[in-house]
Amino acid sequence: MDYRKLIKFGSSSYVISLPGNWLKKNKLSKGDIIHLEEDGDSRLILHSNNEKKIDEREILIETGNKTFLRVQGEIYNAYIDGYDVIKLSGDNINSLTKEIREIMNNFVAMEIIEQTNNKIVAKNFLNINDVKVNDVIRRIDIILRSMMEDCISCIEDGDSVSIVNRDFDVNRLCFMLERILRMAMNNPGVSRKIGMSGTELLHLWYIVMNMESIGDEVKRISRFMKSINFNTKQKNELKKLYGDIETSYLDVMKSYYKNDKDLAFDVNFRKDDLQQRCDEFYEKNHLPKLSAMIEKMKALVAWIRTIALFIYATRFR
């Protein structure tokens, strides 16, 4: 937090000095125009009229003597951190090519533009101006709703393949939003383009990460439902329990769209009851693999509750 003292200027105006680092960062000098925007009752946002050009960022990832998991983690971090060109170099590139291409497919608008025996170059072609964050959130939500609705049917027909495929789409969209939101936190120009700033960016970033985790848990639950042999009574009890968890997800997203803090608060307080019911279902039905599935259902409840907490803590436009 930086502080400035008000200075009287003329009969009706006041001035403050601006931090030199901020002026330098936004390439402002004497005579440039600064826009003022009121945000709430006490905040005043300053932003320049200059559209700062975002320089293309490159990163080199050495793959030699590294496990695939290490290389995978570095690629994901580079994408989320906003690098436009990701170069991979090492004598083991050929042995990793298939896996690297699969990773790149997880990223929207990321294409491999060059490959040799010891090098792969991938470039990001995403234009932030074409991305509307709220529209992407709704798209992720629509996919998650369809996954949750179809998940319970895996008890009967055992078809979890389509749910797994939809989770891939959720991941791609979530990674893209995480990239954009992190860039917006570090670049005022990007922040203005997507119309979000401050804690709003941070909270939305966490919500997106939790939506990604919800997709992962639903995918895993569908696989367990396919493999566990439930009787009719157990199926009916599980459908009721899972249906109430699904309702919590629908309600938490409703609270997000309508900025309904009371509803978000209500969803928050359902967590303990839903997780207790999960434990009780397991205590009554000691089936193979059921323990692992119940843990995933409890995790699903926790991710939903975390979204509710962030909605309750901030104001979304």
**Whose structure tokens read 């905040």?**
43
Give the residue-averaged pLDDT of 190-208: 87
Same domain, 259 and 160: yes
pTM above 0.85, yes or no: no
How many domains, in total, are found in the chain?
3
Give the residue-averaged pLDDT of 276-300: 96
- Kindly tell me if the per-residue pLDDT of 24 is higher than 90: no
Q: Per the domain annotation, does 175 fall within a domain?
A: yes
Same domain, 20 and 106: no
Same domain, 28 and 174: no
Q: Per the domain annotation, does 1 fall within a domain?
A: no
Contact 271, 301 (CB under 8 A): yes
**Whose structure tokens read 């964050």?**
133
- Kindly tell me if the per-residue pLDDT of 51 is higher than 60: no
Give the residue-averaged pLDDT of 240-262: 96
- Note the pLDDT of residue 226: 87
- Note the pLDDT of residue 13: 83
Same domain, 159 and 293: yes
- Note the pLDDT of residue 18: 86
Highest mean pLDDT out of 22-36, 62-76, 180-194: 62-76
Tell me which residue of 306, 305, 304, 148 sits closest to 221, measured CA to CA. 148
Tell me which residue of 219, 220, 131, 141 sits closest to 177, measured CA to CA. 131
- Kindly tell me if the per-residue pLDDT of 297 is higher than 80: yes
Q: CA-CA distance, 169 to 172, in Å (whole number)?
A: 5
- Note the pLDDT of residue 49: 63
Token pair in block for residue 51 = 């559209």
3-state secondary structure of 206: helix
Same domain, 283 and 243: yes
Q: Per the domain annotation, does 258 fall within a domain?
A: yes
Between 31 and 162, the higher pLDDT residue: 162
Q: Which residues span the domain enclosing 23? A: 7-48
Using CA of residue 169, residue 174, residue 177, residue 183, what is the dihedral sign? negative
Domain finish residue from 71, 93, 124? 124
- Kindly tell me if the per-residue pLDDT of 1 is higher than 70: no
Tell me which residue of 277, 273, 266, 275 sits closest to 308, measured CA to CA. 266
Same domain, 287 and 164: yes
- Note the pLDDT of residue 40: 59
Contact 244, 273 (CB under 8 A): no
Q: CA-CA distance, 137 to 304, in Å (whole number)?
A: 15
Give the residue-averaged pLDDT of 75-100: 95
Same domain, 153 and 299: yes
Same domain, 154 and 207: yes
Between 29 and 254, the higher pLDDT residue: 254
pLDDT averaged over every residue in the chain: 90
Q: pLDDT tens digit string along 200-238? A: 888 899 999 999 999 999 999 999 998 999 999 999 999
Between 27 and 308, the higher pLDDT residue: 308
Give the residue-averaged pLDDT of 15-42: 78
- Note the pLDDT of residue 200: 86
pLDDT bracket for residue 95 (50, 70, 90): very high
39 phi, psi to nearest 5 deg: -130, 95
- Note the pLDDT of residue 35: 74
Domain finish residue from 124, 147, 166? 124
- Note the pLDDT of residue 275: 97
Q: Per the domain annotation, does 2 fall within a domain?
A: no
- Note the pLDDT of residue 22: 79
Same domain, 167 and 307: yes
- Note the pLDDT of residue 21: 84
Same domain, 280 and 158: yes
Tell me which residue of 269, 298, 303 sits closest to 174, measured CA to CA. 303
**Whose structure tokens read 């690297």?**
100
Q: Which long-range contacts (CB under 8 A, 24 or more apart) does 292-300 make?
A: 292/224, 293/220, 293/221, 293/224, 293/225, 293/228, 296/217, 296/220, 296/221, 296/224, 297/217, 297/221, 297/241, 297/242, 297/245, 299/213, 299/217, 300/214, 300/217, 300/218, 300/221, 300/245
Same domain, 204 and 108: no
- Kindly tell me if the per-residue pLDDT of 166 is higher than 70: yes
Question: If you write DSSP's letter for every residue of 117-165 in order, what string do you get?
Answer: TTEEEEEE---GGG--HHHHHHHHHHHHHHHHHHHTTHHHH---HHHHH
Q: pLDDT tens digit string along 263-274? A: 999 999 999 999
**Whose structure tokens read 């440039």?**
32
Same domain, 155 and 295: yes
Q: CA-CA distance, 211 to 139, in Å (whole number)?
A: 11
AA identity, residue 212? E
- Note the pLDDT of residue 218: 97
Token pair in block for residue 56 = 């293309």
